[in-house]
Amino acid sequence: MAFPNALMVEQPDSPIVREDGAYLRVTRRYKVSGRFTRTQLQQNEYIPTYGYVDPETGAEYRSYDYSSEVGYPLLEVEFEARLPIDSEYDEHIYTFERSIESHPSFLMKWRYELYSDDVTLAVPAWWNTATDKSDTEESTSWAWSKTGTPSGFDWLMKEAIKPGVTSYLEKSATVTKRKVYTDANDAFVAWGSASGSLLTPAVTPGGLSRDQQNWLIRDVRTTEDRKSWAMTVEFLYSLGDGWDTDIYSNSAITADDP
């Protein structure tokens, strides 16, 4: 005999088919004759083996419930299938600390004091606009310092205007995509080698740049789920000019599949 065996009578209200979130759930109800243990139910093929697929719905066997009431023993067999739902996207916009020297508008006067070897000298105009130490590299009269008086430059000419500011908060974001592939097709396989490459997610809820250079595929995870593949992809955002294209290249995936 094979499931369902010839002694099982499927009931008029069977099967019960319902969609429950991302799953198709199927219940088949059978009248059986006799009182059985779990072992007897398996040996006589009243319940299917794991991996059995319901031929009508394509759902896979998950569990059973057996009520051995006298005169009308009832067996319920549960099946599940993953539904091929559309992709879901979550966006997380956040901030992280960076050194104040890396701020795009950084000026030396924010953090550095200006020293001279001659107190009578006039403070040069570049004190107000300098973004690095290039103005003092060849100078014997001027020196920048944020660690106190440098050797040979005894006169503090200008104090730092933001002495306690050592860092600032920069905005970044992640977009997380979740999608189910019902078979290992070409689109699914391509994601396996996509980590570390540049690709814009199909959905960016927060109005962030759609420039591909701003989005890096940081992480790809896959989990087998009811004979399907549940995939999670994390896209990491980089503000401004985005990721360095000398280091990171565009993904072989030409467009994110929503």
| pLDDT tens per residue across span 95-110 | 999 999 999 999 999 9
Q: What is the helix (H) or strand (E) element at residue 175, kind and residue range?
A: strand 167-181
Token duo for residue 243:
């990721």
For residue 77, the cross-strand partners are: 28, 64
Map residue 1 onto helix, strand or coil.
coil
Strands 167-181 and 88-99: antiparallel
d(CA 180, CA 192): 14
**Residue 186: burial class (beta carbons within 10 Å; 0-12, 13-18, 19+):** exposed
Q: Does the N-terminal peptide bond of residue 84 adopt cis geometry, omega within 30 degrees of 0?
A: no
Give the model confidence (pLDDT) of 115-161 as tens digits.
999 999 999 999 999 999 999 999 999 999 999 999 999 999 999 99
Q: Is the pLDDT of residue 211 over 90?
A: yes
- Find, among 180, 218, 184, 182, the residue nearest to 199 by Cα: 218
d(CA 1, CA 253): 49
d(CA 218, CA 195): 6
d(CA 217, CA 204): 14
Give the model confidence (pLDDT) of 160-209 as tens digits.
999 999 999 998 999 999 988 877 777 778 888 899 999 999 998 777 88
Token duo for residue 253:
């995936």
Q: Is the pLDDT of residue 220 over 80?
A: yes
In whole angstroms, what separates CA 238 from the centre of its chain? 15
- pLDDT band for 70, please (50, 70, 90 cuts): low
pLDDT at 14: 92
Which whole number is the average pLDDT over 225-252?
A: 90
Q: Are 173 and 91 in contact (CB under 8 A)?
A: yes
User: What residues have CB less than 8 Å from 167, skipping those under 6 apart?
Assistant: 97, 98, 99, 100
For residue 143, the cross-strand partners are: 115
d(CA 27, CA 156): 84
